[in-house]
Amino acid sequence: MNVFVSPFQNPFINLALEDHFLRGGADLPLAFFYVNRPSVVLGRFQNPWLECNLPYLVENDIWMVRRQSGGGCVFHDEGNLNYSFIYPEGMINRGRGVELLKKAFAQAEIHLEISPRHDLWLDGKKISGSAFKQTKDASFHHGTFLISSDMDKLNESLKHTIIPKETKSIASVRSQVIKLQDKFPGVEIQDVIELVSHEIKTTPQLLDSSLLSLPEVQKSFRDLTDWQWLWGETPLFTWGELSIHKGLVKEPFEA
């Protein structure tokens, strides 16, 4: 299994690269690590108005992103490591990646627990949330890992600002969270990448910027940054006197 590390902190670029690998852009299986600038990343079927504090995001230059996988809303910043384990069709196993992470951390006497939802927990608090996507030929299991994130920004960013009368979106399952440096202050992001690479018995490779010129990566980037994807994919919801469908006000709400 190869281990790739992104030199980019743009969440749209990193999700486009992940999609490229999923669709045959590299030999599988592989592990992909990346760190994003401050961002809130929603699951595919979620509602940004119900999952995050949009005024706070604007005021603090925190980007709103919608990924292709399902699952809940998460906060990314320079203290959070994102991982993606991508497998060919014959190796699809949602628990394989988190089992690998658990074994890797055990090398450093950091003992994690795996939840039934395939999240990772430390001392009874969630340290890593994850989501899954499958195509005809491959799948990925990707997630976050809080190492030194700004927890005040995380908590404020993920406060919802409205409560709908009715919604068809998928709500996040809220949990108390912890970052790794709360318990192990000396551990940095690069240490985690090296731990996992050692468990896989390979050397991490830094991706080359030439990948960004590939037509399929550019198309995926355009799709991920398109208004229709970011806002228009919001499932129907009703708030106050308004019925909102695919990000657009459709009609007054009738009680």
Region 62-91 average pLDDT: 94
111 φ, ψ (degrees, to nearest 5): -105, 115
Q: Give yes or no for a contact between 48 and 171, defined as CB atoms under 8 angstroms apart.
A: no
Q: Cα dist. 37→7, 106, 126, 176 in Å?
A: 12, 29, 21, 23
pLDDT for res 49: 85
For 170-203, the pLDDT digits (tens) are 445 557 999 999 999 999 999 999 999 999 999 9
Q: Where are the alpha helices (DSSP H) in the chain?
A: 11-20, 48-51, 54-59, 96-106, 151-157, 189-200, 215-225, 227
- Domains contained in the chain, CATH given: 2-252 (3.30.930.10)
Q: What is the pTM of this model?
A: 0.87
The helix/strand count (H/E) of the chain reads as 8, 16
Q: Cα dist. 1→132, 159, 190, 245 in Å?
A: 19, 38, 19, 43
For 196-245, the pLDDT digits (tens) are 999 999 999 999 999 999 999 999 999 999 999 998 877 564 545 555 55
Cβ burial of 217 (10 Å; 0-12, 13-18, 19+) is middle
R_g over Cα of the chain: 18
pLDDT above 70: residue 252 = no
What is the bridge-based pairing of β-strands 39-42 and 63-66?
A: parallel
pLDDT above 80: residue 246 = no
